[in-house]
Amino acid sequence: MKKLFLMFVLMLASAAVNAQGFTYEDAANGLPVPVGTGGTDPNGGVLGGLNVFTDRTAFEAAAPLATNTEDFEDNNAGGAFQSCVTPVNSASNDNCFTPGQFVDGMDMNTSSAGNAVMLPPAFAGNPDFLMGAITFADTTFLDFSGADVQAVGMDVFAGLGAGDVTLTFRNAGGGTIGSATVMGLGALPDNAFLGVIAVEPIAQIEIEGIGDNGELVDNIAFGPIANLPDPPAVPALQPAGLLILVLVLGAASLLLLARRNTAK
C-alpha cells in the first residue's frame, strides 16, 4: 500500500535527524564517482553520456549558461505543508503556485500521475521548501521542454529516512543518456548536490528513492552548454544599391517585353 508523506507529518515533527556521509555511484555500471569536482569516472570517461559534478561551484563554472533556476520559494503555500497537483509548471494555478511563479521550461510529474508534495522550511529541519512525489512508491520526474537543455544540477534529499537516490537522464526519444546514484544520504535534512553535463539534450530526469524510501529536490538549475550561433547577417542595401537593383529589374522587364512582342 502506498504511504503518503501526509501520514508522517506529526511523527516527523518531533523526530531527531542524524545526517550520514554519502558517496556517488554510476547506477548503470556500479562504478564510484569521485566526490568533489566530479567530471570523470575511474576509467577516465563519462558515465554513459554524462559528465557528473558533485560540487555546485564546479558545476556552475562548467555550465555558466544553466541559469534557469527553481528553488520553490516563490509559492502560495504560506509556509504550510501542501499537496500540489501535477504537472507542476509555470501554468500551475492552485494552492502551491499561481501562473508564472514556477520556472518556465520545466514540469514536475510523478510516476503514477499523483500529486507532488511541498515541504515547508523547518519541517524535519529542512533548510527551505522542498518538493517531490507525495507517495513513497512513486518516483519524481522532471521534464524539460527546451531542446537545448544539456546541463542540470540540483540538491537531492532521500526523504523521510536514510537511503540512496538514483537519477536517470533521458533524451527526447526516451533513451537513457546515463544515470548516477547518490548513496548513503541521511534522513531529512541531509542532502547532496548532483549536477551533470550531458552529451545530448536532456528531456527528462527520473528521480527515484531506492526501496520506495522517497525523494525530494531543491535548488534546480538547468540550461544549455553553449549559446546558439547568431543567424548570418544579411547586408542592407544602400540607396545606390537600391537604385541599381531597380534599374536592373526594369531592364530585365523591358527585355522580356521586347521578346514577347518579337514572338508575336
CB atoms near residue 162 (< 10 Å): 18
User: What mean pLDDT comes out for the span 69-85?
Assistant: 94
* 71 and 101 belong to one structural domain: yes
* 45 and 146 belong to one structural domain: yes
* 247 and 191 belong to one structural domain: no
Per-residue pLDDT tens digits for 173-209: 999 988 888 988 999 999 999 999 998 999 999 999 9
Question: Using an 8 Å Cβ cutoff, are 90 and 98 in contact?
Answer: no
* 170 and 52 belong to one structural domain: yes
* 90 and 200 belong to one structural domain: yes
* 11 and 54 belong to one structural domain: yes
User: What mean pLDDT comes out for the span 103-109?
Assistant: 98
In a domain, 104, yes or no: yes
Q: What is the reported pTM?
A: 0.74
C-alpha cell belonging to residue 82: 501542501
Question: Where in the sequence is the domain holding 243, given as residue range(s)?
Answer: 237-264
Number of domains in the chain: 2
Question: Angle at CA 86, nearest 5°, toward 83 and 88?
Answer: 95
* 135 and 176 belong to one structural domain: yes
* 102 and 165 belong to one structural domain: yes
* 20 and 148 belong to one structural domain: yes
In a domain, 131, yes or no: yes
pLDDT classification of 63: cutoffs 50, 70, 90: very high
In a domain, 252, yes or no: yes
In a domain, 232, yes or no: no
In a domain, 61, yes or no: yes
In a domain, 228, yes or no: no
* 251 and 175 belong to one structural domain: no
Computed over every residue of the chain, the mean pLDDT equals 79
- Please enumerate in sequence order all residues whose Cβ is within 8 A of that of 259, keeping only pairs 6 or more positions apart, or say none: none
Q: Is the peptide bond before 87 cis (omega within 30 degrees of 0)?
A: yes
